[in-house]
C-alpha cells in the first residue's frame, strides 16, 4: 500500500527552489483526439452519469525545458486521422496527427528526450510506440500492467506501444515525486487507483506558475468536487487517497489543476502552437 506523506514544509521548499532557479519552461497543449460518450455511466460508481452523454477531449502535452523535451500522454492512435472524416470506431475522432503538431514546433518523435504517460489506457498511450527512442518515465506497477498478458492479447492496442518494452526506461519507485530535469520544475507524482501505477504531472512555469496535469483522476468536470470514482478503476480506496494527495499538492503549491479530459480545461489553455509560460 502506498503512503502519501509529502509534507507541507517539503512542498514549500520545492516551490522555493523552483522559483529561485526559474528555468524557461513552456507547456504546449496538443489536440490528440476526441471521444463522444453516449452513456457516461461507467465514469461514476454512484450512478450519477447513467444515461448522460459526454464529449471528452484527448490531449497530449509537450513540456519544453532548457535540458530537453518531455511528452506527457500520447493520445489515441493518430492513424484515425486518415480514416473517413477522421473518425474511428467507438466515437473516437482525430482531427490532426500528433506528429504533424510536433513538426510545427520543429520536432520529430526521435527529437523528444522523454516520454511519460499518466497511465496505459489506449487514449493515453496510443502513439507511444513512436517514441521508443525517447527515455520512458513510468511507475513500475504501470509498466507491469501495460505488459501483462491481458494487455498483450489485445493486439491492435498493444501494437501502439509495444516498442516501449525495449526503450530506455526510468522507473518512478515508491511514493516520492520524480524530478525529471533535476531542478524541481517538472515532477511526476504517483497517484495509483485508476490503474495500478497512474501518475500526474506537476509543471512549474516561470510566469503562469504551477500546473497539475491530472491524467484520468477526473474524466468529467463535476467528478472532482463530488469525488466520484469510475466503475472501472482498479482500486477505489487508492483512488480516494490519490484525490487527497493531488488536492493537498494543489493547495500547497497554488497549482492550476487541469482535468485532462474536460474540454473547458483544455480550451482555457493557449491555443496550439502558443505555449503557456
Residue 252: pLDDT band with limits 50, 70, 90: very high
The three grid cell numbers given for residue 96, joined into one nine-digit string: 490532426
Reported as a pLDDT band with limits 50, 70 and 90, residue 21 is low
- Tens digits of per-residue pLDDT, 122-164? 999 999 999 999 999 999 999 999 999 999 999 999 999 999 9
Mean pLDDT of 161-183: 98
Helix residue spans in the chain (DSSP H): 8-21, 98-104, 122-125, 140-146, 149-153, 155-159, 223-226, 236-253, 263-267
| Structure confidence at residue 95 as a pLDDT band (50, 70, 90) | very high
Mean pLDDT across 39-55: 98
Is the pLDDT confidence value at 105 over 60?
yes
pLDDT at residue 17 tops 60 = no
Q: What is the pLDDT of residue 91?
A: 96
Q: Which residues fall within 8 angstroms of residue 59, CB to CB, at 6 or more apart?
A: 29, 30, 31, 32, 73, 75, 260, 266
Tens-digit pLDDT profile for residues 202-219: 999 999 999 999 999 999
SS3 48: coil
- Sketch out the chain's domains with CATH numbers: 8-267 (3.60.15.10)
Q: Percent of the chain scored above 70 by pLDDT? A: 92
Amino acid at each position: 500500500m502506498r503512503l502519501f506523506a509529502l509534507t507541507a514544509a517539503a512542498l514549500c521548499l520545492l516551490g522555493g527552489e523552483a522559483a529561485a532557479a526559474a528555468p524557461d519552461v513552456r507547456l504546449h497543449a496538443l489536440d490528440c483526439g476526441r471521444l463522444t460518450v453516449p452513456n457516461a455511466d461507467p465514469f461514476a460508481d454512484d450512478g450519477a452519469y447513467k444515461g448522460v452523454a459526454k464529449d471528452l477531449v484527448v490531449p497530449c502535452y509537450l513540456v519544453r525545458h532548457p535540458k530537453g523535451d518531455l511528452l506527457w500522454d500520447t493520445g489515441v492512435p493518430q492513424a484515425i486521422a486518415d480514416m473517413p472524416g477522421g473518425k474511428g470506431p467507438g466515437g473516437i475522432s482525430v482531427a490532426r496527427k500528433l506528429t504533424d503538431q510536433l513538426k510545427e514546433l520543429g520536432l520529430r518523435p526521435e527529437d523528444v528526450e522523454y516520454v511519460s504517460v499518466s497511465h496505459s489506457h489506449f487514449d493515453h498511450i496510443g502513439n507511444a510506440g513512436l517514441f521508443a527512442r525517447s527515455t520512458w518515465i513510468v511507475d513500475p506497477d504501470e509498466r507491469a500492467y501495460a505488459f501483462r498478458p491481458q494487455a498483450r492479447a489485445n493486439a491492435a492496442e498493444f501494437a501502439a506501444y509495444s516498442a516501449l518494452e525495449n526503450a530506455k526506461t526510468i522507473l518512478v519507485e515508491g511514493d516520492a515525486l520524480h524530478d525529471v530535469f533535476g531542478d524541481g520544475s517538472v515532477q511526476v507524482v504517483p497517484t495509483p487507483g485508476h490503474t495500478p501505477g497512474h501518475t500526474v504531472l506537476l509543471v512549474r512555469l516561470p510566469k503562469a506558475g504551477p500546473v497539475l496535469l491530472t491524467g484520468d483522476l477526473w474524466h468529467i468536470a463535476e467528478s472532482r468536487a463530488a469525488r466520484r470514482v469510475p466503475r472501472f478503476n482498479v482500486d477505489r480506496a487508492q483512488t480516494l487517497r490519490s484525490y487527497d494527495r493531488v488536492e493537498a499538492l494543489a493547495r500547497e503549491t497554488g497549482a492550476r489543476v487541469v482535468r485532462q479530459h474536460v474540454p473547458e480545461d483544455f480550451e482555457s489553455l493557449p491555443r496550439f502552437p502558443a505555449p503557456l509560460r
